[in-house]
Structure 1
Amino acid sequence: MFKKWKKALLAGVLSLSLVGTGYVSHDLISTQNASAESASKNAPGHLKKAEASQLDEIIERGYIRVGMTGDYKPFTYLDPETNEYEGYDVDAAKELARDLGVEVRFVGTTWPNMMKDLQADKFDIAVGGITRNTARQKTAYVSQGYLSFGKVPLIRAEDKDKYLSIEDINKPSVRIGVNPGGTNEAFVRQYLTNANVTVVENNLVIPGLVADGTYDVMITDTVEAILYANEDQRLYAALTNDPFTNNEKGYMIPRGDFVYASYLEMWMDEMKLQGKFDALYKKWME
């Protein structure tokens, strides 16, 4: 018994000696090395070859393509006289381009086609009063929010005590004008199924059609409703202190690009920290 134990001890010492001097067979260490190599490759934080980012493409080409509808005051408006875009998100996009060190090029789109145009690489980012929601996040990358709002009815001032709830509006006798393809239409289709709904292609003309009596209600965001009510005394922005929904505005880029998304989020953080979003709010909404 003692001899067997002694042989085992000597064998162990010999093995350790061989390992220490480097004289050990390939078969003895190959499995251990393979395991260690695999663990190294899969370890968290392992440096992998970075794929090309759209951020690098934008900087290399020297301009960023910004998609917007041009029909959604005060975020984006295409002035027919100058053929120039103006608004809160127009200025924000110009600021983004300056921070990137590139030019900005605006690309026209529509609410029904915005997501398809983004996926088709017609622009690098979509801006202009875009509502953050999980439906959009399934297809694109939607940024953090930069402005809170809710859905409210824009009505005639003479009717300000008439439409105080969903129930007041959700009637066959109530005529609603709504623009197609965005969250305004989605809200109307979901909650106002009994109302008399008309889809109006040009969002910019709906407030005037409410004011002149063609429609009774326009469902829109608090900021747009307040803007049009301030511009036309015939109109009234109802329920702005207690909107039907609680939402935020954000920006959209193609999904799957971590580098580009990270830059966008940090840029937005800096815009907030430096008070630049606040300055845009004062310029366009107060």
Structure 2
Amino acid sequence: MAKNWKKGLIAGVLSLSLVATGFAANEVLRTPDVSAKSAASHAPGQVKKQQQEQSQLDEIIKRGYIRVGMTGDYKPFTYLNPETNEYEGYDVDAMLELGKDLGVEVQFVQTSWSTMMKDLLDDKFDIAVGGVTRNTDRQKTAYVSQGYMSFGKAPLIRQEDKDKYLTIEDINKPTVRIGVNPGGTNEVFVRQHLTKANVTVVPNNLDIPHLVADGTYDVMITDTIEAITYAKADSRLYAALTDAPFTNNEKGYMIPRGDFAYASFLEMWMDEMKLQGRFAEIEKKWLE
């Protein structure tokens, strides 16, 4: 009797163990299904699909306006006219054309050369324009479009000094006073190539040409296009070396990187602007 009781107890324990083991095994087998679904949603193909579905281009069209970041201090590309409180310039007109082709309104957003990249990454605007120089440093962080205008770095000087500052060596002296705007490629050039000159950072880029003209500074290093613009407006100034500048560069437009649909549209739009002569019309208005 005692033996039978013990056998029954052992059999019962074994049965419960088998049931528990089977339940646990069933749960173990089910768990990978949940993980597999989670992993599948983050697989490269799915992530790419999600990115395509979430293009900023779609968001711009959906909201009905595009936010354009510009400094407003870089003639002839962007200028915030204090009398009208309106932006004007080459890239202002170009962005109005972009708005028409997108079927949306254009909202201009104030930025600065020092904060432009951060403002773009912080989603304060959809595109940065206004004399933006294409370079690999910017391309590391954002997407910079194809070029739409060629230029180079050159000195804006006084007319009376037009034969005085013709080389880097002529300018790179402690006696030469240079005024430069902060945060952009002009300052980068000055810091790299004019280390011996007497450099002053002037917060407002619009002030520098006048300070060169009145003798406060001797040289403003800027783009050939801006130098020519100021020399035309003020007979005291001279745009030197515009036919043989210190560098060779192009202007482009800058948007957040990693958005294939948005970048593709921007590139095709620029191709069409060139092909249909619309860039040429804007250039004639602001540069000739």
How far did 1:48 drift? 4.9
Secondary structure of the equivalent of 2:215?
coil
> CA separation in 1, counterparts of 2:93 and 2:65?
15
1:269 aligns with 2:271: yes
- Where do 4+ consecutive residues of structure 1 move more than 3 Å? 47-50
Question: Identity of counterpart residues, as a percentage?
Answer: 80
Change (3 A) 1:120 1:48: closer
What does residue 24 of structure 1 align with?
none
1:95-114 to structure 2, matched below 5 A, reads 95-114=97-116
Say how many residue pairs are matched. 243
How far did 1:245 drift? 0.1
How far did 1:135 drift? 0.2
How far did 1:81 drift? 1.0
Secondary structure of the equivalent of 1:244?
coil
> CA separation in 1, counterparts of 2:63 and 2:121?
19
Runs (5+) with no aligned partner, structure 1 = 1-40
Instruction: Tell me the TM-score normalised to structure 1 length.
Output: 0.83
> CA separation in 2, counterparts of 1:42 and 1:143?
26
How far did 1:42 drift? 9.5
Instruction: Tell me the TM-score normalised to structure 2 length.
Output: 0.83
Larger helix proportion, structure 1 or 2? 2
What does residue 139 of structure 2 align with?
137
Q: 2:87 aligns with which of 53, 70, 85?
A: 85
> CA separation in 2, counterparts of 1:52 and 1:125?
17
Quick one: which amino acid aligns to residue 64 of structure 1?
I
CA RMSD of aligned residues (A): 1.4
> CA separation in 2, counterparts of 1:185 and 1:278?
29
Secondary structure of the equivalent of 2:222?
strand
What does residue 115 of structure 1 align with?
117
How far did 1:59 drift? 0.2
Q: 1:127 aligns with which of 123, 126, 129?
A: 129
> CA separation in 2, counterparts of 1:141 and 1:122?
16
> CA separation in 1, counterparts of 2:255 and 2:49?
24
Secondary structure of the equivalent of 2:252?
strand
- Render the CA deviation track for 1:74-110: whole Å, top value 9, x for unaligned: 0000001110000000000000000000000000000
Runs (5+) with no aligned partner, structure 2 = 1-42
Quick one: which amino acid aligns to residue 208 of structure 1?
H
- Render the CA deviation track for 1:21-68: whole Å, top value 9, x for unaligned: xxxxxxxxxxxxxxxxxxxx999xxx9564310000000000000000
> CA separation in 1, counterparts of 2:193 and 2:49?
49
Quick one: which amino acid aligns to residue 157 of structure 2?
I
Q: 1:198 aligns with which of 182, 190, 200?
A: 200
